[in-house]
Structure 1
Amino acid sequence: MLKREITDLGYEITQVEDGRVTFEGDAEAICRANVGLRTAERVLMQVGRFKAETFDELFENTKALEWENLIPKNGKFWVTKANSVNSKLFSSSDIQSIVKKAIVERLKLKYKTDWFEETGSEYPIRINIVKDEVLVALDTTGNSLHKRGYRPVAGAAPISESLAAALIMLTPWNKDRILVDPFCGSGTFPIEAAMMAASIAPGMNRTFTAMKWDNIIPPAEWDAVIEEAKDMVNLDIDVDIQGYDIDDEVLKVARMNAARFGVDKLIHFQKRDVRELSHPKKYGFIITNPPYGERLEEKSALPPIYEAFGRQFAKLDTWSAYMITSYEDAEKIFWQKS
């Protein structure tokens, strides 16, 4: 899904790995990716890739990168996260410490100083090592991209916004078709669908770390991308998106969340038990994250819920249903003959 999104933005993909898609782009691409990508968690700017099996190799290769072109003399920089998989270097704290030291040594030579105040903009660094290949990157995003800004309050065990968007995109649903979430909780599926239908960019109303990197990205680039995103919004559309839940309080939260992103007029939230799931029209879609019972006592309540869900869906003979759940008996109970 992420690969498709990047291609749709018009950028050339150079590599696809587990959990990462690499593409080439300029400063504007960083802005457009942060503002426009629905299924990504963050946008990283690659500084370098190299092989390192020892801490000496990690230090020297990191030091060889041209950090002075990225981090100004007063920039605040640190290694916010270091991951290692199937590699000789595996201590996250040691990797973080050595990378920071290498960058300091490089910048001391370039800026001819022994002290950095780090009072300027933030330049968080991420290190990922897989099979001894090191990826060094600057985090342009900051708070993860799934934090759109519409859900400061969430119901119990909410699904992340980026995952919800990806799941919707995995289905053939489009804005001309009915969409119902019978377990809508704080409204994530209906809200993400409404945003897609109205062409609302997910990052349009939030800030990003790289917005303060005026040495790399001119502020005018951000302004132009956000203005472009605003121009694309179309709330004057006829859609049928519905969210049901049995909890009045969680429905209030869902309505507030939808209102924060201006899509409340596009979604009909209603208190309704899954045993009352029905719709007079044909060829609709159910996309949902039903309860899955994290504790043993909760699991005993699940069979009747999934039985009712399956029974009501069977009456919607032209509809499609998509669910994500960790309840291992979900499929068996959902499809059992009643």
Structure 2
Amino acid sequence: MTKFNLVATAAMGLEAIVADELKALGYETRTENGKVYFEGEEHDIARTNLWLRVADRVKIVVGSFPARTFDQLFEGVKALPWEKIMPVDAEFPVTGKSVKSKLYSVPDCQSITKKAIVERMKKVHGRLGMLEETGPKFKIEVSILKDVATLTIDTSGAGLHKRGYRTEQGEAPLKETLAAALVYISKWTPNRPFVDPFCGSGTIALEAAMIGQNIAPGYNREFISEEWPFMKQEIWDEVRDEADQAANYDQPLQISGSDIDHRMVEIAKRNALEAGFGELIDFKQMQVLDFTTHAEDGVMIGNPPYGERIGEVEAIEQMISDIGHMMKAYPTWSVYMLSSMENFEELYGRRATKKRKLFNGFIRTDYYQFWGRKSQKK
């Protein structure tokens, strides 16, 4: 087994949740902006790809070094042990980014990185001429921040938000990773009722169901590293077996979602069917103010419209005010709303118990948390 330096990347504001996920899986972590570092072997690469709900990707950190000149970049890349990870026929596209660094030309940095890896591989393997690149793909990134270059290889392939259940989506879909984070922050447990009154294509409700039954989010998808020679098939079989054993498919769930748009409700139903929750989640067309329940200690999580079109803001402000008024009738329910409206608390008619800054794509939002009081149930 080989020991790798690994990094789970995350959207801004979600690093702490990814670190908690990794700790729960038994790893020691170190967190930076958008990144959570940990160590692991081949089995850990497969396991974290399968289980991380909130991370964007899992990458191998090949190395890091100062790079203020193109020569330093070339020599630094060439000194790294690429042959220990990639076969000689590997296909290895290089992407790049540069922030606050002397080497600001990303195309040049990518080209130099590629040349340096080719030189290293040719020398190690005693090859002349071109490398064939007919083998498995290794997606390499050269990232230069404040004149320090970090070279990584992506083990995930498609972003980890792609769970494999989304058949269709609406205009502004919430990423599955962010939806999972919203559920985590609420500390919802599967013995409590759960409602999303702005369900759209059903993402928040589906992520809650997966959390509720402890289903690994990557169970039904493939990863780029499955094609790599050192990531043997038995490793993947083993982690998928472990995930299957860990799932609690018999856990009853009280999850429902509604939306004013009947087309979105139909998409949500199809997505639920694809995810294996067709019978477990109740989706229906309904406006939020028609919500009624006899249940107590429930959790409502929603991502209401942000009002980006002219004339929409007033209607949304009124709706938020109406929800605040409506939920007074359900004092044991906790309400969690993701919104870009800075006056949300004023409109809702109550100070949030807590709020957390999060980014929905490039939109800065706050996650407003209104905790309910515990019921007097014996």
TM-score, length-normalised on structure 1? 0.95
Cα deviation, residue 325, structure 1: 1.6
| Aligned mate of 1:188, from 197, 203, 207 | 203
Deviation digits for residues 228-257 of structure 1 (CA, Å, limit 9, x no counterpart): 112222221222111011111111100111
Cα deviation, residue 186, structure 1: 0.5
Deviation digits for residues 293-329 of structure 1 (CA, Å, limit 9, x no counterpart): 2222333431222122222122211111111122333
CA distance in 2, matches of 1:225, 1:239: 25
SS of the residue 1:283 aligns to: coil
2:215–2:243 contact (8 Å) kept in structure 1: yes
Q: How is 1:28-177 mapped onto 2 (pairs within 5 angstroms)? A: 28-79=43-94, 81-113=95-127, 114-177=129-192
CA distance in 2, matches of 1:133, 1:263: 46
Moved more, 265-274 or 161-170: 265-274
SS of the residue 2:335 aligns to: strand
Look up the equivalent residue of 1:61 and give its one-letter code: G
Q: Which residue of 2 aligns with 1:240?
A: 254
Cα deviation, residue 30, structure 1: 0.2
| Aligned mate of 1:281, from 280, 295, 299 | 295
- RMSD between aligned residues: 1.5
Q: Which residue of 2 aligns with 1:26?
A: 41
Moved more, 299-308 or 37-46: 299-308
Percent of aligned pairs with the same amino acid = 43
CA distance in 2, matches of 1:274, 1:147: 28
SS of the residue 1:97 aligns to: helix
Q: Which residue of 2 aligns with 1:231?
A: 245
SS of the residue 2:174 aligns to: coil
Q: Which residue of 1 aligns with 2:8?
A: none
Cα deviation, residue 191, structure 1: 0.3
CA distance in 1, matches of 2:310, 2:88: 55
SS of the residue 1:205 aligns to: coil
2:165–2:271 contact (8 Å) kept in structure 1: yes
Greater share of residues in helix: 1
Cα deviation, residue 54, structure 1: 1.4
CA distance in 2, matches of 1:144, 1:82: 17
Q: Which residue of 1 aligns with 2:276?
A: 262
Moved more, 299-308 or 128-137: 299-308
CA distance in 1, matches of 2:24, 2:284: 35
Look up the equivalent residue of 2:138 and give its one-letter code: Y
CA 1:177–1:86 in structure 2 vs 1: closer, same or farther (change >3 Å)?
Answer: same
CA distance in 1, matches of 2:96, 2:88: 24
CA distance in 1, matches of 2:144, 2:186: 33
CA distance in 2, matches of 1:206, 1:301: 40
2:260–2:287 contact (8 Å) kept in structure 1: yes
Cα deviation, residue 227, structure 1: 1.6
Q: Which residue of 2 aligns with 1:4?
A: 20
1:17 to 2:27 alignment:
no
Alignment length (residue pairs) = 334
Moved more, 34-43 or 130-139: 130-139
Cα deviation, residue 83, structure 1: 2.1
CA distance in 2, matches of 1:152, 1:70: 35
Cα deviation, residue 336, structure 1: 6.8
Q: Note the residue ranges of structure 2 that are not aligned, 5 or more in a row.
A: 1-16, 352-378
TM-score, length-normalised on structure 2? 0.85
Deviation digits for residues 13-40 of structure 1 (CA, Å, limit 9, x no counterpart): 2x21010000010000000010110000
Q: Which residue of 1 aligns with 2:219?
A: 204
CA distance in 1, matches of 2:202, 2:329: 25
Moved more, 107-116 or 18-27: 107-116
Cα deviation, residue 130, structure 1: 2.0
The higher relative CO (CA closer than 8 Å, separation ≥ 6) is in 1
SS of the residue 2:311 aligns to: helix
SS of the residue 1:263 aligns to: coil
CA distance in 2, matches of 1:201, 1:246: 31
Q: Which residue of 2 aligns with 1:290?
A: 304
